[in-house]
Amino acid sequence: MGEATIKDIAKASGVSISTVSRVINGNYPVSREARERVEEAMQKLDYRPNAIARSLRNQKTNLAALVVADLSNPFFMEIAKGLEEEMAGIGCQLVIASSGGSVQKERELLDTLIEKRIDGLVIASSDNEGGHIKTCIEAGIPVVLVDRSIEGIHTSQILWDDEKYSYQLTKLFIDNGHKDIGIVNVTLTNPNGKWRLEGFRRALREAGIPEKPEFISSSNFSSDEACYFVTQMMAAKNRPTAIFCANNIMLQGTLQALRNLGLRIYDDVSVAVFGNPECNRYISPAVTAAGQDTLKMGQMAGELLKNLISKEENREKTMILKSEILMGGSIRRIG
């Protein structure tokens, strides 16, 4: 049993535990003879330093946490992947926790993460209040916000340029002759939802197209709700000729609805999405999108977090990631 402690090694090799520790860490001079005896003993007893004890002494756990709403959303998983990659560089492993979108659950998660004394936190928060995140910061935990900013929280952030690319996609519809455009949005309490709607609106406004409330989904977040909304919207006698989806999940629901209704992309309705359409791997025409480099977002989050942890660059930093308009064949020229 890997139960050997530093004390056992000391005894086995006839030196003090201080000396053993110095051999392990290599940060103080130890005679060759002693070192060899210690190393031999460690080998023989299959010694493994206890990271818990180390953490207690060093005030450092080598653990970072990622808190998201849903583990199975590819969007978050790409972030996780990038983050893990990046943190591995400083020997930091990743605790992943999901809130299922529940504010209550998220707060509980943060509480136990604080108690666990994680070295850093990356969070795509579902909590618009931000009180608990402030608590983390006050507890001395470096925090990086991803995907969603929170009013009143000052720390490193990495976001998308929601307004700009929503505007561009909407304008793309308009330039192709569309006037009746629906938007399948996430909740407006979420800042993404707010800004993606803003961009959508600006494009309409600039083109002099009046908004139609029945074409604007008010507040959903699940694929199912999106599906329901689109089904309703497309069943009405005045239906849009184009649909803008605010993220990949909204697109999923939208496609589901269109399939159920027997409507084809391009032929029957034009579609665009803010985010990465997983479907493009499978269907054609591909859905035109404002593609997000989520892997990079994870990596950048890791970089920002490392900066905060090392205090090298203590000033918090806000990064706005650019999207790239990926032209698919899902927008039909009409009129």
Partner DNA sequence: CATCCGATAGAAAACGTTTTCTATATATAT
Partner DNA sequence: ATATATATAGAAAACGTTTTCTATCGGATG
Which spans of this chain sit near a copy of itself (rule: CB under 8 A)?
1-3, 48-53, 55-56, 61-63, 70-72, 74, 77-78, 80-81, 84, 91, 93-98, 109, 111-117, 135, 138-140, 252, 255-256, 259, 278-279, 281-284
Residue appearing with tokens 């201080």: 18
Alpha helices in 89-190 (DSSP H): 103-115, 131-138, 162-175
Of 13 and 99, CB closest to DNA: 13
**Closest distance of CB 19 from DNA, Å:** 4
- Listed residue (128, 154, 191, 161) closest to 308, CA to CA: 154
Q: Which residues have CB under 8 Å from 71's CB, separation 6+?
A: 77, 96, 98
Tokens of 53: 């004890």
User: What does 29 interact with, of DNA, a copy of itself, none (CB < 5 to 8 A by kind)?
Assistant: DNA
Of 116 and 205, CB closest to a copy of itself: 116
- Listed residue (124, 97, 145, 132) closest to 305, CA to CA: 145
**Closest distance of CB 107 from a copy of itself, Å:** 13
**Residue 215: strand, helix, or coil:** helix
Q: Which of 44, 46, 58, 260 binds DNA (CB under 7 A)?
A: 58
Asked whether position 45 contacts DNA by CB under 7 A, the answer is no
Residue appearing with tokens 């899902």: 330
**Closest distance of CB 246 from a copy of itself, Å:** 18
- Listed residue (125, 130, 61) closest to 95, CA to CA: 61
Of 3 and 224, CB closest to DNA: 3
Binding site for DNA (CB under 7 A): 3, 5-7, 14-19, 21-22, 24-25, 27-34, 47-50, 52-54, 56-59
